[in-house]
């Protein structure tokens, strides 16, 4: 599914984030940038050890929740990996919404400053961190649409959902926000 605004677009696809042919891949990292399972495990496994070596060196204090840092992409075909730290879901009253929004926004800012045309992101916080998918999809997509209102880069924002279930949640929310195609 996709929606266009001039020469910019949001795409939703089912797949593996590591296989996307884009300028920037977004990792669902933790604040210690210590690696882990899910997207983080897949990105480091496919990208090789140079990514972790670089983030250790450049960001020895990690990355706060609600923010993101950038590194090169090792063996991956992308130019960069952005390591974004979404919030752990705690019921919705611990600033999770603001933190998730700012994590996505920081990804788009870094993409723009690194002159990236295309970025692929997973559903941040929706796995190990337990964020309800429908609420997370609304934040992810609203933040993307708002970004396009005021910025020309990146031109493609692609959300890569791991299976049919999360894909259809994102698709329903995108349709609610933009109307039927
Ligand atoms: N490609 C696309 N999506 C994926 C992939 C993949 N290869 N693998 C999982 N997903 P998660 P979080 C989906 O847990 O919730 C790690 O241990 C998954 O189904 O990767 O932000 C880190 O080190 C879910 O919908 O990220 C952190 O400690 C979404 O991606 C912590 O988990 C995000 O799931 C971060 O947790």
- For ligand 1, whether the C-beta of 16 sits within 6 Å is yes
Based on the residue annotation, tell me whether 172 is a catalytic residue of this protein: no
pLDDT at position 180? 86
- The atom number, within ligand 1, closest to the CA of 162 reads 3
pLDDT at position 124? 99
Q: Which two tokens stand for residue 127?
A: 């796995």
For 156-170, the pLDDT digits (tens) are 999 999 999 999 999
pLDDT at position 181? 79
Residue ranges in the chain whose pLDDT is less than 50? none
pTM: 0.98
Q: What is the ipTM of this complex?
A: 0.99
For 24-33, the pLDDT digits (tens) are 999 999 999 9
- For ligand 1, whether the C-beta of 122 sits within 6 Å is yes
DSSP secondary structure, 7-31, as one string: TEEEEEEES-GGG--SSEEEEE--T
């Amino acid at each position: 599914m996709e929606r266009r605004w001039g020469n910019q677009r949001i795409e939703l696809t089912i797949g593996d984030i590591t296989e996307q042919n884009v300028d920037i891949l977004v990792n669902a990292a933790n604040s210690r940038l210590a690696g882990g399972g899910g997207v983080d495990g897949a990105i480091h496994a496919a990208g090789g050890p140079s990514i972790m070596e670089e983030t250790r060196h450049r960001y020895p204090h990690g990355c706060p929740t609600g923010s993101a840092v950038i590194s090169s992409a090792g063996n991956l075909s992308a130019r960069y990996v952005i390591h974004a730290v979404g919030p752990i879901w705690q019921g919705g009253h611990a600033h999770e919404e603001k933190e998730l929004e700012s994590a996505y926004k920081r990804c788009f800012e870094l993409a723009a400053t690194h002159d990236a045309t295309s970025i692929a992101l997973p559903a941040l916080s929706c796995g190990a961190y337990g964020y309800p998918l429908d609420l997370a999809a609304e934040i992810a997509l609203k933040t993307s649409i708002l970004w396009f209102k005021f910025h020309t880069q990146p031109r493609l924002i692609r959300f890569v959902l791991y299976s049919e279930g999360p894909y259809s949640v994102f698709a329903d929310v995108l349709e609610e926000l933009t109307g039927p195609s």
